């Protein structure tokens, strides 16, 4: 048994979906969440910068003596996970591997689409990981840089959003994928719009649930599950609390307040 | 005569349009430009955070002994200019006042529209400034949070961009404005699309040229114009050079390289 908290971080509030799945699956775990809202988004930034930010956040979470860290951001998982794992001894889990395993389970034809931010897609991490497990898979990728702004502006299902979804997904649909990885924590909020364009025969993979399950399995295996009677969740953000709360409401449908913390950029 | 450089900064590359107008109008001035590409955009962040970033950048520019600083970002000008002017003795000029003066000159009916980022519009700085000069003006504002992502993704004039422009501008057009302030350095790149929606009878105000003229007037009045035979322009960015250059090309149509500088977030 290990009652230390689990650390979760994201460039902003998207990773709350992962934190939420952990609350539900592991209600006796304490959670410390950090959203880098002063520097969001990460998806259009360089590997070096994203890795620097991720290391600062990891150090911040370590002050809470976290027993495990989840990088609940596809961009940081794609570009910085290896470097984080090399630099810190605490177990660090990303959202890519859980998503890939789920997609491989779901796909019958082995034709898998991946959508994500510019940085995630350029890294080709999803493609590499899928092919390292099953090299017969056919993988087609597409960056969807307007999806995050659409979600953050709460245009989840209007005619413009549908047009954008169609523009991005048409090339993937033309390749006859049967499974689509939503490779960014913002994208599940566009599921309704995406579903209208893909039809119902394509499996949409949202890695938040699988990531929570993966976390449980790792903690169980290491005999590190928590047993806090009154588990807490603490939220921190690098920009002011207001912006975090208003967007958190879009993601989780409930009010969440974050404490502001300024990380050093050097 | 004063041969020290002029400092120019923006959240990213948009302010290059202002720097470019200064090159052309004042070819004997040295320029030091800083684009905060690691933390871009500013338009969805809080006043406190934007002011903190702006102060860090001002301190960085002061290392170059700049004689004047231009805040070539509407969001930072709206939220942080007062605070910067109080904190530093170097003359600091924003882009709001030049844009407002130009709009007041252009408008025949006194019905002025203002578009900008969420942070700029919430600050109501444009409205306040216009009314402090002419309280009979009618001002209608609209934040256009998708315009920056559209420009950064180079969707300058496709059918989706036109739909977004129409959605944002329709309420302003319904109010019968005759002048529209493009209150963000990204927006002039959407001029073609905006023009298609507004028709040709509405004057579009892009403050970059007026800001350059304003800079010249201030320097002349203070007897601080430069006379560098071989004037230089130095570019710095907080994210890696590559992303700066590729976007700079969208804005100026030419290749510009920036040196990376990490500012401290505290």
Chain A neighbors of B52, CB-CB under 8 A: 262
- Sort strands A179-183 and A203-205 into parallel, antiparallel or unpaired: parallel
pLDDT bin (cut points 50, 70, 90) of residue A265 is low
- Mind listing the pLDDT tens digit for each residue in A168-221? 999 999 999 999 999 999 999 999 999 999 999 999 999 999 999 999 999 999
CA nearest neighbour of B244 among A49, A51, A10: A49
Q: Do B45 and A239 touch (CB under 8 A)?
A: yes
Q: How far apart are CA A237 and CA A245, in angstroms?
A: 10
Q: How far apart are CA A213 and CA A21, in angstroms?
A: 9
Nearest to A38 among B39, B262, B263 (CB): B39
CA nearest neighbour of B182 among B151, B205, B201: B205
- Sort strands B31-35 and B6-10 into parallel, antiparallel or unpaired: parallel
What torsion do the CA atoms of A46, A50, A51, A52 make, to the nearest 10 degrees?
Answer: 110
Nearest to B266 among A37, A44, A262 (CB): A262
- Mind listing the pLDDT tens digit for each residue in A110-130? 999 999 999 999 999 999 999
Residue B1 resides in a domain:
no
Pair (A199, A234) in one structural domain:
no
Q: Are A18 and A70 in contact (CB under 8 A)?
A: yes
Q: Are A14 and A150 in contact (CB under 8 A)?
A: no
Chain B neighbors of A49, CB-CB under 8 A: 38, 238-240
Q: Do A160 and B167 touch (CB under 8 A)?
A: yes
Nearest to B262 among A40, A242, A266 (CB): A266
Polymer length in residues for chain B: 266
Q: Are B213 and B144 in contact (CB under 8 A)?
A: no
**Backbone φ, ψ for residue B248 (5° rounding):** -55, -35
Chain B neighbors of A265, CB-CB under 8 A: 38, 238, 262-266
Pair (A42, A56) in one structural domain:
yes
Q: How far apart are CA B141 and CA B126, in angstroms?
A: 9
Residue A162 resides in a domain:
yes
Calculate the CA A21 to chain-centre distance. 12
The DSSP letter of residue B265 is -
The encoded tokens of residue A258 equal 């974050």
Q: How far apart are CA A208 and CA A98, in angstroms?
A: 8
What torsion do the CA atoms of B162, B164, B166, B171 make, to the nearest 10 degrees?
Answer: -170
The residue among A41, A55, A149 with the most chain B CBs within 10 A of its CB, best to mutate, is: A149
Residue A247 resides in a domain:
yes
Radius of gyration of chain A (CA): 18
- Please state, rounded to an integer, the average pLDDT across all residues of chain A: 96
Pair (A214, A84) in one structural domain:
yes
- Mind listing the pLDDT tens digit for each residue in A64-88? 999 999 999 999 999 999 999 999 9
Pair (A84, A107) in one structural domain:
no
Q: Is B184 a catalytic residue?
A: yes
CA closest to B11 among chain A residues: A39
pLDDT of residue A5: 98
Pair (A73, A104) in one structural domain:
no
> Backbone dihedral region of A110: left (phi > 0), alpha (psi from -120 to 50 degrees) or beta?
left
Pair (A58, A117) in one structural domain:
no
- A 236-255 residues inside an 8 A Cβ radius of B: 238-240, 242-243
CA nearest neighbour of A239 among B73, B81, B44: B44
**B178-208: string of b/e by CB count within 10 Å (b at 16+)?**
ebbbbbbbbbbbbeebbeebbeeebbbbbbb
- A 147-176 residues inside an 8 A Cβ radius of B: 148-150, 152-153, 155, 159-160, 163-164, 167
From B190, B207, B224, the end of a domain falls on: B207
From B192, B207, B222, the end of a domain falls on: B207
Verify cis geometry, omega within 30 degrees of 0, for the bond prior to A73.
no
Judged against a pLDDT cut of 90, whether residue A15 lies above it is answered with yes
- For A49, the 3-state DSSP assignment is helix
pLDDT of residue A240: 86
Nearest to B39 among A39, A146, A264 (CB): A39
Within 8 A by CB and 6+ apart from A66, the residues are: A4, A5, A6, A7, A32, A90
Question: Percent of chain A scored above 90 by pLDDT?
Answer: 91
Pair (B115, B194) in one structural domain:
yes
The residue segments making up the domain with residue A100 are 96-207
CB atoms closer than 10 angstroms to residue A52 = 19
Chain A neighbors of B166, CB-CB under 8 A: none
Q: How far apart are CA A31 and CA A20, in angstroms?
A: 10
The C-alpha angle B58, B180, B77, rounded to 5 degrees, equals 10
Pair (A53, A142) in one structural domain:
no
The encoded tokens of residue A103 equal 């997609």
Question: What contacts 24+ positions apart, CB below 8 Å, involve B194-201?
Answer: B194/B165, B194/B169, B196/B162, B196/B165, B197/B162, B197/B165, B197/B166, B197/B169, B197/B173, B198/B169, B198/B173
Q: Is A184 a catalytic residue?
A: yes
**Model pTM score:** 0.95
Nearest to B153 among A40, A145, A242 (CB): A145
Residue B266 resides in a domain:
no
Chain A neighbors of B193, CB-CB under 8 A: none
Determine the straight-line distance between the first and last CA of chain B, rounded to whole angstroms: 36
CA closest to A240 among chain B residues: B46
pLDDT, one tens digit for every residue, chain B (266 residues): 999 999 999 999 999 999 999 999 999 999 999 999 999 999 999 999 999 999 999 999 999 999 999 999 999 999 999 999 999 999 999 999 999 999 999 999 999 999 999 999 999 999 999 999 999 999 999 999 999 999 999 999 999 999 999 999 999 999 999 999 999 999 999 999 999 999 999 999 999 999 999 999 999 999 999 999 999 999 999 998 777 888 898 888 888 999 999 887 55
The encoded tokens of residue A186 equal 């913002």
CA nearest neighbour of B248 among B89, B19, B4: B19
Residue A147 resides in a domain:
yes
Pair (A78, A156) in one structural domain:
no
CA closest to B49 among chain A residues: A239
**Domains: count for chain A:** 2
Chain B neighbors of A152, CB-CB under 8 A: 44, 145
A145 to chain B, any CB pair closer than 8 A? The answer is yes
Question: Complex ipTM, two decimals?
Answer: 0.93
Residue A160 resides in a domain:
yes
Q: Do B153 and A167 touch (CB under 8 A)?
A: no
pLDDT bin (cut points 50, 70, 90) of residue A39 is very high
Q: Do B265 and A38 touch (CB under 8 A)?
A: yes
Chain A neighbors of B40, CB-CB under 8 A: 44
Span A35-54, mean pLDDT? 96
- Mind listing the pLDDT tens digit for each residue in A214-253? 999 999 999 999 999 999 999 999 998 777 888 898 888 8
Pair (A188, A123) in one structural domain:
yes
Q: Are B9 and B33 in contact (CB under 8 A)?
A: yes
B55 to chain A, any CB pair closer than 8 A? The answer is no
Q: What is the DSSP string of A64-127?
A: TT-SEEEE--HHHHHHHHHHHHHH-SS-EE-SHHHHHHHHHHH-SSSEEEEEE-HHHHHHTHHH
Nearest to A239 among B49, B145, B264 (CB): B49
Indicate which CATH number applies to the domain containing A233. Answer: 3.40.50.1860
pLDDT of residue B247: 87
From A207, A222, A241, the end of a domain falls on: A207
Pair (B110, B201) in one structural domain:
yes
Q: How far apart are CA B72 and CA A87, in angstroms?
A: 38
Residue B265 resides in a domain:
no
Residue A265 resides in a domain:
no
Pair (A90, A104) in one structural domain:
no
């Amino acid at each position: 048994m290990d009652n230390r908290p689990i650390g979760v971080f994201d460039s902003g509030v998207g990773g709350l979906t992962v934190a939420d799945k952990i609350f539900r699956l592991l209600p006796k775990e304490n959670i410390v969440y950090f959203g880098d809202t002063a520097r969001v988004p990460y998806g259009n930034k360089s590997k070096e910068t994203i890795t620097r930010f991720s290391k600062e956040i990891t150090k911040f979470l370590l002050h809470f003596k976290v027993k495990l860290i989840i990088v609940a951001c596809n961009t940081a998982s794609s570009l910085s996970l290896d470097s984080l794992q090399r630099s810190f001894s605490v177990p660090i889990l990303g959202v890519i591997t859980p998503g890939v395993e789920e997609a491989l389970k779901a796909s019958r034809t082995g034709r898998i689409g991946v959508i994500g931010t510019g940085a995630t897609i350029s890294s080709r991490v999803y493609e590499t990981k899928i092919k390292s497990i099953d090299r017969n898979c056919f993988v087609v990728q597409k960056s969807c840089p307007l999806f995050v702004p659409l979600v953050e502006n709460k245009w989840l299902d209007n005619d413009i959003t549908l047009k954008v979804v169609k523009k991005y997904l048409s090339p993937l649909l033309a390749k006859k994928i049967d499974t689509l990885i939503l490779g960014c924590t913002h994208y599940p909020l566009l599921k309704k719009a995406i579903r209208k364009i893909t039809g119902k025969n394509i499996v949409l993979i949202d890695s938040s649930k699988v990531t929570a399950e993966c976390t449980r399995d790792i903690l169980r295996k290491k005999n590190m599950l928590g047993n806090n009677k009154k588990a807490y969740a603490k939220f921190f953000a690098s920009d002011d609390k207001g912006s975090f709360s208003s967007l958190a409401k879009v993601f989780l449908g409930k009010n969440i307040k974050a404490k502001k913390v300024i990380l050093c950029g050097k």
